[in-house]
Amino acid sequence: MIAREIDAFFAALRFLTRLPGPRPFVSAAEGLAGAAPYFPLVGGLVGAIGAAIALFGAKFWPHNVAIVLSMVATVAVTGAFHEDGLSDAADGFGGGWTREDILRIMKDARVGSFGAVTLVLVLMTKFALLESVAAPGRMAALMISGHAASRLAPVMLIHALDYARGETGKAKAVANRMSSGRLALAGLFGCAPSLALSPGPALAALASCLGFAALAARFFRKRLGGYTGDCLGATQQISEIAFYLGATCGAFS
């Protein structure tokens, strides 16, 4: 039991990032099948790496430069995994009218105009929101909690929807409906870091993030009848922005 959960965590780490992990105790396939509840925990780790880079960079460069360095670090750690999904999903839904067209366009490795513009706007928005938080400690807490909570959003999609590509696609390996207990475990990993924020911003951030996830699930069910790996990546990216928007809203500060 413990060995299987350790395998699941490191499978999530290898799936979402370029960080190394030990060889599986049981089997790689079994670990990956149970990896989804650990996505938010891996997200918190990615956020912690970005926060550490931001805090370190702020000792030598202006605040905005430190934020850019932290964003570079998180993209490097994940291999732009989620950003790639975002751009593919933007191209698919922006250029496709039917379910078949959307799935075909998303599978194309080339980045189109919808994907490029969406990716630039999302990165700019993320930078602006993080840069608006002047206090280094609060900024670090925001990054860690935002990365964790935004990885809970795609887990909600995996739990609620069917996989839209049948037996193909990289995300098929983690496309398993999980029990309520394992969903609760993901919720714990995704929401616990927000305790480092003030109560008002934390509640607003989580409500905004998870509220967007619910809307995304409804949208993907209507357009595709389920989700793809690109849908998960896009959901993570926009949910992260939604989290920052809620946390930095003046009405809740």
Mean pLDDT by 10 residues, the chain (253 residues): 86 93 67 88 98 97 97 97 96 93 91 94 98 94 98 95 76 74 96 96 97 97 95 98 94 64
The H or E element that residue 253 is part of is none
pLDDT of residue 110: 87
Cβ atoms of 139 and 196 within 8 Å: the answer is no
pLDDT of residue 27: 59
Cα torsion through 123, 128, 132, 134, rounded to 10: 50
pLDDT of residue 177: 76
pTM (2 d.p.): 0.94
Cβ atoms of 152 and 16 within 8 Å: the answer is no
CA distances from residue 193 to 34, 142, 143, 175, 196 in whole angstroms, order as listed: 22, 9, 10, 25, 6
Q: Which two tokens stand for residue 98?
A: 């039917």
Cβ atoms of 150 and 208 within 8 Å: the answer is no
State the angle between helix axes of 136-160 and 229-248 in degrees (0 to 180), rounded to the nearest 10. 140
